[in-house]
Each structure stands twice: as structure tokens, then as C-alpha cells.
Structure 1
Amino acid sequence: MTALNSKPDVRPANPNFSSGPCSKRPGWSLESLSDAVLGRSHRAKIGKARLAEAIDLTREVLKVPADYRIGIVPASDTGAVEMALWSLLGARPVDMLAWESFGSGWVTDVMKQLKLENARKIEAPYGELPDLSTVDFSHDVVFTWNGTTSGVRVPNGDWIPADREGLTICDATSAAFAQDLAFDKLDVVTFSWQKVLGGEAAHGMLILSPRAVERLESYTPSWPLPKIFRLTKGGKLIEGVFKGETINTPSMLCVEDYIDALKWARSVGGLSGLIGRADANLKVLTDWVEKTDWVDFLAVDPATRSNTSVCLKVVDPQVSALAADEQAAFAKAMVSALDAEGVAYDIGAYRDAPSGLRIWAGATIESSDLVALTAWLDWAFAARKAELAKAA
């Protein structure tokens, strides 16, 4: 551990470890967006071409099956998830899985806003997965692949049967491009540009399997749908949404930035390259945690630990003996100290999560920066621990 007041010699070259919006790709600059189609209609030929390119590159890099539709939709991942929930649910019972704040948010929307009486909540505390064997796949199933605020992910798609009767609706916003999504087990996949690829916010991606399209065209919800959620017209899928004809006006600057990120992803080896970068980053943090006695992963099972939103807790006995608000203050003081030094920005635990740290380790982060960060984490802990000793 770094001695008190002895600051590490090496600083992360990039201190942006926020879990969203996440760090831009290595080497990014505004000049990279010089070809953006600005001041032109997104419905003009050139605008449609750029939007279609973004969809085509998404399919290529993410390895989306050819018969799945990919659409660019408003309001980030939240908008994409809400479109799916409001448009698809209600045809059969639904199992809602939650083990962190965003999954809990979808539970609230389905049970308190849509008020589905045949919805069942299956949950687990932060750091754990619920018992996936209890899921009933004759029901629709809604879950997050990677819990952004808990650092807990499903290890694979083996728990989802191929012959399921219901639809699987997966919020994959902090998993897409960093984890191997089992598309054959997923009927709806959503994510946003500002996570693993470090794109800009406010746009979401909605990916539909043929089974999801069949549901849309054969089932009409009993509640009214706002225009921004409508995916069908006259009982047929609005195919234009999945060809770049967006429901509302997109930011073409953000579209160009997303295309730039996708081209970078292709240059580092595509999906396997991106996963490899994130896995290498997780290994840096895992190696450090294993030799550091004051910190541990929030995720209990190593097989479920996220390689993007890495959530950590302070387990030092003296700190753990403090009251909950004092433990939170301890972690916040560490975060503030690192921010003031300019070595790590925005690494505090999510507001609804247990106190601790949350460090983004996705593909746009360089492993060398995480190596440098770990020494600073030790420094921040030692400094705060010394302050506690003085106050005692």
C-alpha cells in the first residue's frame, strides 16, 4: 500500500472512469466527426445513408443475426426498453428479474405504471443474482444482462431455453460490445451508444428477433401508446424504423460519433477484440483486489463479475465497523480526493447502490490507466484511514 502522503509517481493518462457517459475511444478527437451530416434533413438521401450505415455496422460488429431488426430510437437505452415493455407486454404473464437499480426500475414500470396483475418479481440483493432456475419461460421475461449499478452480470445464456414460449427482453446497455450476448436466446435487446463504445447519449438501440416482430404484429396492448413508442401501423411492423427512418429527429453529430466508434471497434478486432480489452481490464482490477486487504468486489460470485461496470466495496474491518452513513462518507471522501488530484473522475457507487466505488473497465479504457489507478486507490484509502485515526 502506498504510504500516507506519498502520492504515486504515475497518473492515468485518461482519468475518465465514469460508467456513463463512458470514456471516448483511445485517440478520439472532434476532428474525427468532420464528415458529420449537419444542417441537412435526416430524411434526405445522405442522412438516411448515415443512419443505415450505423445500423449495418452495429449488425457487423455486434454479430446480430441477419433476420433480427435493428432500430435507432429516442431516449437512450431507457427509451428502447420502455418501447419494448409498453408495446410487447400483456399478452402473457411476465417474470421481472432485478438485482440492481435499473432492473428494479423496470419492475416499477411494469407493476405500477402498466399495472400488469400477472407480473411476478424475482429479485436478489446487490452483489448477487436471483435464482435463475425459478424463471418460468412460458412467461415473458425481462432482465438486465449486466447490472450497471451492481457489477453483477449473467455469466451466459445457458439458463434460457431455446424452446421458450414467452419472449425474453434484455436490457444489455452495459454489456453490448463487451460481453457475448446469446442472441439466439434473446428476443429483444436494447443498449445505448454512451456505454461500451463511448458514444454520445440520448439515442437507444432496439433489436428485435422474428418472434418479437410476430408478437408486435399479432398483439395490441390494451393501453394507449404514445407516438414515440409506436412500432406498428395497421397491424404491421413499421419497417422504416429499422432502416434508419427514425421516429423523431436524431442528432446527426451523435450518429457520426457512433459510426466513428463502430469503425474503431472493427479496427481492434471487432466483438472479440472488444471483449478481450474489457476482460484484460477486469483482470487488472482482479489482480489488485486479490492482493489488497481493504477492498473486495461487490459481486459475490466471480463468474458473475462484470468486466465493464466494476463495483467495489471497502471491507477494511475498521471501516466496516462504522455506521452505514459513515461508511458512505468514507467512500465519498476517497472519491473526492481522487477527483481533486485529477486521476479518477466519477467513480463513486451509484446513488441507490451500497457505498463503495464503481470503476468503468469497458473496451475504451486502457489497461495501463487502470494499473496506474490502483496505486492511487491505495493512496486515497490510506489518506482517509489516517484521517479517521486522527479523529478517534
Structure 2
Amino acid sequence: MKITRVETFALPPRWLFCRIETDDGTVGWGEPVVEGRAATVRTAVHELAEYLIGQDPLRVEDHWQVMSKGSFYRGGPVLSSAVAGLDQALWDIVGKALGAPVHVLLGGPVRERVRAYSWVGGDEPAEITDAVAAQVEAGFTAVKMNASGRMNRLATRADVDLVVERAAAAREVLGPDRDFAVDFHGRFNVANAGRVLPELAPLHPLFVEEPVLPEYTHRLADVVAASPVPIATGERLFSRTDALPALQAGIAVLQPDLSHAGGISEVRRMASLAETFDVLLAPHCPLGPISLAASLQVAFATPNFLIQEQSIGIHYNDGAEVLDYVVDPEVFRFDAGHIRRPLAPGLGIEVDEKAVRRADGKAPDWHNPVWRHADGSFAEW
């Protein structure tokens, strides 16, 4: 079996898919993308494809090593995301060739269903009560919300009160038996996190995500030490090496993204590393169906898995939805906020290739907004 073709597809709302085909007609799918840098990642995928053409697709680990380390300059979100999508597609081919789901090839299932959460509130949280109530009505047992919109460099009393009020509104709807997580989105600094986290503690968030920017991971231990709330981070950490300082800082939950952090191969290793620190895995996934499918394959084979993010209905999905590109949406059907173990080979989904080819090239040139403080200076989004 040899790889004969690698294709990419830019699709609404802001996704990039890749397709690897072999000489016996086996096809594997992946989702390599950096949100806001899809075109750059697409170029990187095709550069790596030059190496893959003519290779045996079953040598996944060797290909991961070459794609990740074969260039003198390595790492970073663009390369690791390109590798991630190609790695997903290679695992998909291996599973299909052997007639087994990827999680079986990773050692077999350790659970029969995976708990998932839904997003509420948007980039600037609003109407939290109604949004949370809708997810409870849909059967979800957990939601995640942004803590705030633009955050002042040093939070005012009013800033802190708004964060706590939104969280309190969510808790009021959820009651004591459901969970909510709060995403700080790197909008806070160490001082602001120190002010807000103790005030959130009585509301018992499941975790607080990315309380500070990844470039300040050397201060993360200070945040953890001051926080009575479990701390999560990892969507902007792209390897075991990137994740190690966060694990050493004492985080409770690691959140690598299967479309950013080197794919199934590297996230599986990151999960094992996290387990040695008694840290749980909650894969980041605000993307499309292939990224979600890959995340689930890791989740079903990972003992220290906690909960899965998924983007059905998320505020970023304008012009297309997760289920638009799969033949059988039942694979992602939620039952009491959980997804059942997929049994189909490979990634466990059948991509609707006709829908993908129709949508190719129609993706908007999506970039995240640029926010500014009241004085006109740059503010973290």
C-alpha cells in the first residue's frame, strides 16, 4: 500500500480538511487548521505531502517523526497543526486497513461513553441563563462559558462582579448536580486571575481554563497556588515539551487540541505524560467533525480522560455545522450529554466527500477580532 495523493479543502465556517488516498483506494481524513491561519497551514500540509507521496501509510510513527523533526526548524502551531491533520488521516487509513477503530489500535476502550460539554454565551458572554437552560433541556450535564469580554489590565470591582454574576447565573440553572467551566481565554493576567479565582470558588466551577497566556506559563504555578478552583490549560501547547512546564506548575486538567498538537500520536503521549502528574485530559475541540472524531478515539482509550469539548451550535459556526460534512450524524448523537463509543473502523465516521468538494473554497477568510482597550491600545481577545 502506497500514498498516491494528498488533498486539502477549505470549508465553511473556518475549517480545513485533508484527504490522503492510497493506491488500493483506501482514504483517510484529517483536520489540520489554525483558526485564522488556515491558508498558512494549508501550504504547510502540501509541503509535507511531498514527503508522504509514495510512502507506506501504515508507518504512522515514522512519518510523525519525519514530519515533525525532519526540518532543522521545527515546532510551533502551523507545523504541528499540519502534522496533526495528516497524522489523523494516517490513523484513519490504518484503522480502515485493519478493520478496527483507532481506539482499539491504541489499546482498546477504557469506557463505553464519553461525557461532553457545550458552549454558551459567545465571546462576550450574554443571556447566560437562557443559553444554559437550553443546553440542560438538550440533556447536557456540563457547559463552558467565557468569563468576560475585554478585560482591563487590572480588574475593577465591577469587572470582577460581572464575572462572578455570570457564573452564578449558570450555577443557578445547573443546580448542584451539573457542571460549568469558565474560560479566561488568556484575557486575564496573573494579578486579575488572583482576584477573580477565589470569588468563583464558592460556585464550584469544574475548572477555569487558560487563566493566563501560554507565554506566561512560568507564572502558572503562582496562579495554581492562589486558586481554590482547578486550573486547566493546553489549547496553545503543541507538544509534550510545551506541556511539561504547565504540568509541573500543578494544573489539574490538560487541554491539547487534536488538530493543533501533533494529532492522535502526540496527544496520546501528552495524555500519558499528564497521567504521571495525576492530571486529567479534556481535549480542546471548537472545530469540525474530523477533529472531534479524532478526539473521541483518544478519549475512549485514555484512562485519565475527563470531558470532551465539542462545537455543535458554537457561536463560531456561521455557514456550516459539524454534522453537515458526515454521512451518518448518528455517530455524534448525544445521550444524556454523552457520546457512545464508535465502532466503525478508523476515526469512526464517514466523511461526506461530495459535500466537502461542493463546499471547498467557500470558507470565509476568518480571523479572530482585534480588541482594544479604552485608551486605544491592544487588548487580548
Greater relative contact order (Cα 8 A, min sep 6): structure 1 or 2?
1
Q: Give TM-score, length-normalised by structure 1.
A: 0.31
Q: Give TM-score, length-normalised by structure 2.
A: 0.31
Larger Rg: 1
